Structure 1
């Protein structure tokens, strides 16, 4: 029998899920400001920035909201100059949404502010704690990226 613990039990899965949930709380609650966009708006902009123009129906499905809700969100983002809507080349009845330069700039500024806040938080750790966190992050990040990629199409 091996001394290495297995991570295949439901309890292990729950422990990992709790850590990932804490990371989500950190990212969403502790690093965002009140003036920021909603999570759905931010995720929509990020998706458009990463994957390019999409139909409203696809955006609604990706964000798990109704098409009328996504239409309202896109209208608001369009008024703010963060996205633009154009007719779909393949189906003139459909609309494709793309992020604007202003939307990209907003996302970049949000990333900069989050990273600045994280750097401040990391500054509260001792040098030993920071080294340990850096070591663990080096092992954790490839697995997290793989997990995110495996759920990207859901």
Structure 2
């Protein structure tokens, strides 16, 4: 039997990642039903939980979407009482985004429910498997972040 090619292994890895992501849908959909929030809206709220006062441009970069897309997301979240927008104190032309109590509660609830659910899924894994999982997922995230930074730099150079 021949060893699978790198392309085949990467395809298997992508399939495994899709399966892992699908496991989390159960919790995300529960929050979506309860709060009427999309996955992207939840991600936006999560970024604000980590660092409030971000601008539209900063959120667009972190979410990997366009500024107009962020503006539409923010409009819906503001109408729902999840966030508020304020004129920037340092740049009167800029707007900073802040979590409202409802937004903070939604994202904290999601994180807690995801944490409980995922730790339950990993109960059957050995310590070595958990360590390997942490290492591999961390490397995957770092690789994706580096690629995104390169893409943004390339886009900036093309528009300059």
Is the shorter-chain TM-score for this pair beyond 0.5, marking a shared fold?
A: yes
Q: CA–CA distance in 2 between the matches of 1:146 and 1:74?
A: 31
DSSP 3-state at the match of 1:130:
coil
Match of 1:20 in 2: 17
Moved over 3 A (4+): 115-120
Match of 1:35 in 2: 34
Q: CA–CA distance in 2 between the matches of 1:148 and 1:138?
A: 15
Match of 2:137 in 1: 144
Length-normalised TM-score, structure 2: 0.70
Instruction: Note the C-alpha offset of 1:95.
Output: 1.0
1:1-154 equivalences under 5 Å are 9-27=6-24, 29-32=25-28, 33=30, 34-36=33-35, 37-118=37-118, 122=121, 130-132=124-126, 135-152=128-145, 154=148
Q: CA–CA distance in 1 between the matches of 2:131 and 2:4?
A: 19
DSSP 3-state at the match of 1:24:
helix
Length-normalised TM-score, structure 1: 0.72
Q: How big is each residue's C-alpha offset from its partner over 1:40-95, in whole Å with a ceiling of 9 and x where there is no partner?
A: 10111111222332211332343344433322221221233322211123321121
* Structure 1 unmatched runs, 5+: 1-5
- Number of aligned residue pairs: give it: 141
Q: Is the contact made by 2:27 and 2:110 (CA closer than 8 Å) also made in structure 1?
A: no
Q: How big is each residue's C-alpha offset from its partner over 1:75-128, in whole Å with a ceiling of 9 and x where there is no partner?
A: 2212333222111233211211122343222211112223444466x4xx9xxx
**CA distance change for structure 1 residues 56 and 82 in 2, over 3 Å: closer, same or farther?**
same
Higher helix fraction (1 or 2): 2
